[in-house]
Structure 1
Amino acid sequence: MKQREERCEVELPVRGSVSVWDTDPLTYGRYLRDLRCARCGAVEDLVLRTRDTWGLLICPQGHAWRDPAAKAFGIRLLYARVRKIGQPGPHHDELRGLDRDAGASPSWVVPLLSEPRDAVAPDDDASISAARLQWTIDGALGEPDQPPLTQAMYWARALLTWAFPRDPVTWAMVKREQLALDAHMVMVVLGLALYEYGYAASTADLQTLPLTAPLEMLEDTEQRNLLRRVRPSGLQRVGGTLRVTDRDRLANCSPAQWAYWCDVAASVLSASLQDARIDAAAEHGGRVELPDAGTRLSRRRDKADIAPEDWYTWYTVPVE
C-alpha cells in the first residue's frame, strides 16, 4: 500500500486562498467558504496533495489537515486544469469545483490526440466475415443508429474521462510525458474490447453489455493478443472502422507498449466496475449478489461528460 500511495500522489501549490462550496446544516443554503488551517488560521498559499482516494491540505507553517470538500478527485481535476491553462489567479474562480464528487469529469482532463482522423476504408479488409458485416449493419440501422465500433469508442472515452481523475491506480499508470497518445491508445484498446465482446454476445447495442466480460478479456494474455489483431468492419459514409493511424500503431507497436495500454484499460474497467457495484448495492439494499443490470454500460451514461454533438463523431471521419 505504501508504494501505491507514493505513486498516486499529486502535489499542487496554490497562490492565495481556496474557496469551496458548503451547505448550511440549518437552512441547507449553499455558500462559499475558504479552506482554513485549524491550527494557525492560514487560508493562503496552501499546498493541495492527494494520497490514494483522499485529499490533504498543508499550510505554509507545515500543518496538515483534511477537509470534506478537498477530495482527491477535485484536486486531480484542478491539477489537470492547471497543466492545461496555467495557475489559477488570486480570486480562484477555477478552484470552485474542488469539492466536486459526483457526476462526470470535464472532457479536457483527457486531451484528444491531435492527428488526422481519417478512417480505414470499409473495403480495405476483405477478411471480414458475412456474419460480422451483418452485425455491423444491425448496429448502424438499430438503436443507437451507429456502427458498433463508433458506439464502442464513445464508451471508451466516457469510461476513461471518468476513471482517470477518480481512480488513483489509473492516474498513476498514465504517463504524463505522452498523455494524449497513451490516453488515446487506451481508449482504442477499450473500444476494441467492447466491440469484440459485443460481437461475441451478438449484441449490436453495446450499452446493454456488462463491464465484467471486457475486463476478463483484458486480463487474459491470450485474448489480449487476439484483440490486437481485430480490425472492425464498417460501412461507406457511415464509419465504424479504425483510424488509419491506429491501424498502423497496432501493427507496429512493441509487445511492451501493447501490454501497457491493456493494463491501463483494465484498470479503467476495474475502477468503473467497482463504482457500478457500489451504486447497485446502494440501490438494492446492499445485497452481495448484485443484478447484472447494475454493471451495464448504460448505467454509466450519467457519469460521461461528452457533449451530445461529440458523442459519436470524436474518433473518425467516415470515408465517403
Structure 2
Amino acid sequence: MARDAQNRSSPRPQGRQIGYARVSTDEQATEAQEIELRSAGCDPIVQEHGSGASRARPALARLLREINAGDTLVVVRLDRLARSVSHLLEVIEDLTLKNAHFRSLRDPIDTTTPQGMFSLQVLGAVAQLERALISERTKAGIQAAKSKGRMPGNPGIREKRPDALAKMTAAQKAAYAHRIQSSADQWLPTVRRMRPDHTWDDISRVLRQRGLDWSPERLRRAVKWMISERFADPALLRKSPPRLPEDRLMTLVAGIYSSNPHLTLREIAVQLERLHERTPRGGTKWSPSSVKNLIDRASRTGLLTATDSTTASSAE
C-alpha cells in the first residue's frame, strides 16, 4: 500500500517506457512477458533470445546505445536482465550516464523513486561484500596451497608444456574472437564510415566520446582480425591520405554526425570541444554555425547525403 501511495505521489519520467523481454532459447516464447510489459505501458518492447549468464546480447546492447534521456528500461523480473548483481549494476550505470532509468515490475528496483534507489544501493553493497569475500577466499586458498608446498595455477603452464601452452593460446584466441564479434555492432559501423579518410587516433577519440574505450592500437588490431575472418573490407586498413587541417575537420564532423544522426549541431560542437579540436580559425570554442558549415561542405563533397545535410541543418 505504501509503495502504491509513493508511486502515485512521484510521477514517472516523461520519456518512453521501453520493455525488455528475454528467454533463454528459441523454443521459448516472450509472449507472457510482453503482455505484462504492455500492461505496464511499455512501447516499444525489445525481444531477446539468449542465456542470462551471457553478457553478449545484441538486442540489449543496441537498446542501451539508442535509449534516450528520460526513457525507462522496464523488465518483468531482474533475472530477465541479469543473472549477477555486477551485471545489473553495470547496466544501470550505463543507463544513468545517459540520464535514463530502470524499473523491474516484480522487484523493488525503480530508479525513479527514493525506495527503488535505496534497494539499488543495498544491492551495490551486497556486490561489494561479495567481491571482498571472493578476494579473501582466493588469498586464503593460495596461502593454504603454498603452505602445503603446492604452487597456484596450472602446472602445465608453469612447466611450459607444449600441449598446455597450445590449449591456453587457443582459449585466449577464442575469448578474443568472442569479445570482438559480440561488440562489433557498437564500433564497426563508425570505423566503416570514417576509414580510410581518418586516422585510427581520430576514430578512437570519437568512440571514446560515445563511451567505448578503444585505443588506436587495439582498434586497428580488432579491425585486422575482422578482415582476416572476412567480416570487414580490407580497404579499411589503407593508409589515411594527408589532409589539410580543414579537410580533416570536415571528415571528422561528418564521421561524428554519421555515427549518430540524432545529435544536434550544438551537441556536435560540445563533442569537438571535448576532443580538444581547434576550430577552422584556430579557436577553442565551437559554434553550431561552424559545425553546420563543415557538414554542408561534407554534403557537397559526397561525405554526407542530401538527407543527412538537411536533417543536420534543422538540428540547431
Specify if TM > 0.5. no
TM-score normalised to structure 1 length: 0.23
> RCO higher in 1 or 2 (8 Å CA, sep ≥ 6)?
1
Q: Which has the larger radius of gyration?
A: 2
TM-score normalised to structure 2 length: 0.23
